[in-house]
Structure 1
Amino acid sequence: MKFLRNLLASILGGLIAMGIAFFMFFMLMALLGQAEPVTVKNDSVLLFELKDPVKDYVGGDKEDPFAGLFDEAMGLDEILHAVEAAKSDDKIKGIVIKNVFAQAGLAQVQAMRKALEDFKTSGKFVYAYSDYYPQKDYYLASVADSVYLNPVGGMDFMGLASEVLYFKDVQEKSGLKMEVIRHGKYKSAVEPFLANEMSAANREQISELLHSVWGAMAAEIADSRNLDLTALNKIADTLGARSTKMAVQSGLIDGIPFYDEFETMIKEGMGKDSEEDLDYISLAKYMQAANTKKPSTKNRIAVIYAQGDILFGEGNEKYIGQGLMTKALRKAREDEDIKAIVLRVNSPGGSALVSDIIWREVELTKAEKPVVVSMGNVAASGGYYIATGAHKIFAEPTTITGSIGVFGTIPNGAELMGEIGINAEQVGTHANSIDYSFFEPMGEGFRNRVQEGIEETYNTFLSRVSEGRGMTVDQVNAVAQGRVWSGVDALENGLVDELGGLEDAIAAAAELAEVDTYRIKNLPHFKTGLERFMADLSGAKAEFMSDMVKQELGSESYEVLQQLKAMSQNAQTIQARMPFALEIK
């Protein structure tokens, strides 16, 4: 028995040693591979392909040899910089957009589209090809000189829609309920826990939001494709691009060649022989090459990225915490080389307390240096809260913003506990020492105290916006009530100053700081690459388990689970969060 135990231990030790050796060999090869400089050949074609999810910022030190090694995301900041660099790179002759199901938000797609539009002013070609065009991918591709589709492929072009899930019945059936206290006519983040159907107010705001976002997208598509806007909307209404031939007849697609035929057209346009290979360079590789080209100057514009839900804590690349954000803002205002700050916000909101902590740090920073906000896919509720004090606010036309309102959600299992035979008894020293119990129905006194806190937080929110935007409290309240707006409507309502992307915000910050030449300093520093891999193996396991659960449940059931989880986080804190989980399709 002892021999068998020793034998098994020896085998296990050997396997562990082999695993470590393999890991070190892999790391060495990866490091050597990353150490090789990216070579851009003459007559190269930049392949604009978004294989990984797009985040505003992936974080980390770009000079770290392990940066990006374990990251499965692309930074919007690097993508925009790469396209800008390619515009003046004599070795890049043009761009081919080739995507299916790009994992990016509408405002991110709009920012990339603008960068590609600017690239075309160089006189270089931009062509697009896909086997299938989802609506968002077509919106990006439509910027190209010519758009092509696989002859047996397809495309979606039907207008925008959104779906909201409701949970009232499942609460009543299970006995597990979410107690809700809110302020705001349109603050319907909690509506799914109160009703089985969409309220008229919620339907109104979603409808107006979708029409506004579609209007911005459609106007750009119509302009690029030389189509009348009315005709474009008719195509969407009648599904006039539901087959490849109809897509060509409608004017949305220029041709339906196979990919080899598409490449032959490119070669002919470049004066190449049909037998020659095209020298593609991937977007990921060119991003590495573009990062080496930096102006020589001490002046810096700091771009501070606030992305994800706002939660109490340190924060990381997935959520905004007061820890990293306050450190980044302090570092930016204390660094003499940093002349101005751009706060890039991509957040549906979250904790009202954390939002106010960050707002205060922005106030202290703007007293020292210019602060400009750039809004991404969404800057709603708490996301708008932290932005409202800036000297200038930019939003994309498709940015979802506003949602000035607050609410509280508290899970209660009293009915469920009663059904399964659990009873809780409390003992306290004072009249209000027994505050709240998950096992007992919510008392009226506790509910009144929470409502009082929500009203106070809402009024504070109004005052922050009033002070930052130069509006009266009544003017703010008229566009508040938890309602969300598109960037276009937010501009009309005075919630933002200009429509534009990250590059526009950076240029405005440089102008306010009166600097012509500068380099970008990205903050905060997130753990990336080997650093995060070694520090958070449990996180990698959790990510793996999350993927397994998603596969087992299916994407729609998994989405229900994620929404319930999101509403349960910080359940007993007052929330300044976007009024519903909105996925625009």
Structure 2
Amino acid sequence: MKRHPVIWGIALLLFLLLMFFSLIHGLTFIAGKRSAFTSTNKIGIVDVEGIIKDSTEVVENLQEFGKDDSVKGVILRINSPGGGVAASQEIYDAVMELRKRKRVLASMSSVAASGGYLVACAGEKIVANPGTLTGSISAVMYFTNTEELLSKVGVKASVIKSGKYKDIGSPIREMTEDEKSLLQGLVDDIYRQFLDVVIRHRAISSNTIKNIADGRIFTGRQAQQLGLVDYLGDKQYAIKMLAKLVGIQGDPVVVYPRKRYESMLDYFFQQTGSTLSSVLSREQNLSFGIHYLMDSYRMRMSVLPDMTH
């Protein structure tokens, strides 16, 4: 029987892929098991990465470390411009709950602004790099008006509604002053909730914080001078500080939340799905609602090392 080269090539590729993921899965399993026996004096790292759209994974990771007696303290590593109000508040609440059992420090990476800063406030102390972008203590809602565009292409829209404000924020018409006032009240209340958190955790008066809590961003060094940040340093600095606070002698064992997979096939599909999801969601807009989000991220502004953009 003649062997078809294409079929054999596909079979060989599938075999190599299977061997590769088997190796990765095995190493992950071994590393995970080994960490359980290395030390009872561990420092856990929980990452808050990217725009905060959902709190589930971060909250579960915090809860996992809260139940692990070998983890003596947790570093909340933040690299986020903020995001959804509710998701940011849920992470904040989970950190405050964890602090009843463990010591928690916040460590800022490249950016920890708006909702990212709100989350950082839950830490016992906040450590930032001198060049970290932080602050942006504010709340914002976004709306788009396409009425003129639709008119130019000859498209007309009609709305039938049951209440005066049912289509508030509609993209097909200009917002009324009454509607703007109503939405402004929502944003102002969300903003006051943010201020309450900052005032509660930082030694800053309400009058002082209002003068700087207008959406502006700061470097880590500026934030320290204003009392928004406690120390300047990188992640390793925060780890060593926490190790000292919890009484760990020498270099601590640093651990991350473990992902558990029921089978090799489950691991393969989860990894593939995660990659595809990451690619497909890059250009997605935020969901409707009020956000604790640094506005420059919304406008896709980036800050380079030479501070040009």
Quickly name the TM-score band, shorter chain normalised.
Answer: 0.7 to 0.9
Say which of 15, 19, 22 aligns to 2:10: 19
Asked if residue 534 in structure 1 is aligned to residue 251 in structure 2, the reply is: no
Letter in 1 for 2:118: Y
CA distance in 2, matches of 1:293, 1:541: 30
Report the 3-state secondary structure (helix = DSSP H, G, I; strand = E; otherwise coil) of the residue aligned with 2:110: strand
RMSD: 3.4
Deviation of the 1:545 alpha carbon: 8.7
Deviation of the 1:347 alpha carbon: 0.8
Question: Does the 8 Å contact 1:484/1:579 carry over to 2?
Answer: no
Say which of 278, 300, 303 aligns to 1:583: 303
Q: Which of structures 1 and 2 has the larger relative contact order (alpha carbons within 8 angstroms, sep 6+)? A: 2
TM-score normalised by L of structure 2 = 0.82
CA 1:536–1:25 in structure 2 vs 1: closer, same or farther (change >3 Å)?
Answer: closer
CA 1:61–1:447 in structure 2 vs 1: closer, same or farther (change >3 Å)?
Answer: farther
2:76 maps to 343
Say which of 298, 303, 310 aligns to 2:45: 303
Say which of 510, 516, 520 aligns to 2:254: 520
CA 1:578–1:360 in structure 2 vs 1: closer, same or farther (change >3 Å)?
Answer: same
Superimposed CA distance per residue, residues 361-413 of structure 1 (whole angstroms, 9 cap, x where no aligned partner):
11111122111011111111111110012111111111111111121111222
2:221 maps to 488
Question: Does the 8 Å contact 2:203/2:227 carry over to 1?
Answer: no
Deviation of the 1:536 alpha carbon: 6.2
Report the 3-state secondary structure (helix = DSSP H, G, I; strand = E; otherwise coil) of the residue aligned with 2:46: strand
Letter in 2 for 1:441: E
Asked if residue 396 in structure 1 is aligned to residue 129 in structure 2, the reply is: yes
Report the 3-state secondary structure (helix = DSSP H, G, I; strand = E; otherwise coil) of the residue aligned with 1:408: coil
Asked if residue 449 in structure 1 is aligned to residue 182 in structure 2, the reply is: yes
Asked if residue 569 in structure 1 is aligned to residue 302 in structure 2, the reply is: no
Asked if residue 510 in structure 1 is aligned to residue 230 in structure 2, the reply is: no
Letter in 1 for 2:238: A
Superimposed CA distance per residue, residues 508-541 of structure 1 (whole angstroms, 9 cap, x where no aligned partner):
22222223264222136499x9866534657756
Please give the residue correspondences for 1:44-59 in structure 2 after superposition, counting only pairs within 5 Å: none
Question: Does the 8 Å contact 1:400/1:484 carry over to 2?
Answer: yes
CA distance in 2, matches of 1:519, 1:436: 51
Letter in 2 for 1:23: L
Question: Does the 8 Å contact 1:66/1:530 carry over to 2?
Answer: no
Letter in 2 for 1:520: V
Deviation of the 1:471 alpha carbon: 1.9
Larger Rg: 1
Letter in 2 for 1:486: T
CA 1:302–1:503 in structure 2 vs 1: closer, same or farther (change >3 Å)?
Answer: same
Question: Does the 8 Å contact 2:115/2:292 carry over to 1?
Answer: yes
Report the 3-state secondary structure (helix = DSSP H, G, I; strand = E; otherwise coil) of the residue aligned with 1:376: strand
CA 1:17–1:416 in structure 2 vs 1: closer, same or farther (change >3 Å)?
Answer: farther
Letter in 2 for 1:579: D
CA 1:579–1:510 in structure 2 vs 1: closer, same or farther (change >3 Å)?
Answer: same
1:63 maps to 28
Asked if residue 425 in structure 1 is aligned to residue 158 in structure 2, the reply is: yes
CA distance in 2, matches of 1:416, 1:342: 49
Letter in 2 for 1:24: F
Superimposed CA distance per residue, residues 234-262 of structure 1 (whole angstroms, 9 cap, x where no aligned partner):
xxxxxxxxxxxxxxxxxxxxxxxxxxxxx
CA distance in 2, matches of 1:324, 1:364: 16
Report the 3-state secondary structure (helix = DSSP H, G, I; strand = E; otherwise coil) of the residue aligned with 2:120: coil
2:19 maps to 28
Please give the residue correspondences for 1:272-311 in structure 2 after superposition, counting only pairs within 5 Å: 296-311=38-53
CA distance in 1, matches of 2:112, 2:199: 17
CA 1:15–1:446 in structure 2 vs 1: closer, same or farther (change >3 Å)?
Answer: farther
Question: Does the 8 Å contact 1:324/1:524 carry over to 2?
Answer: no
TM-score normalised by L of structure 1 = 0.45
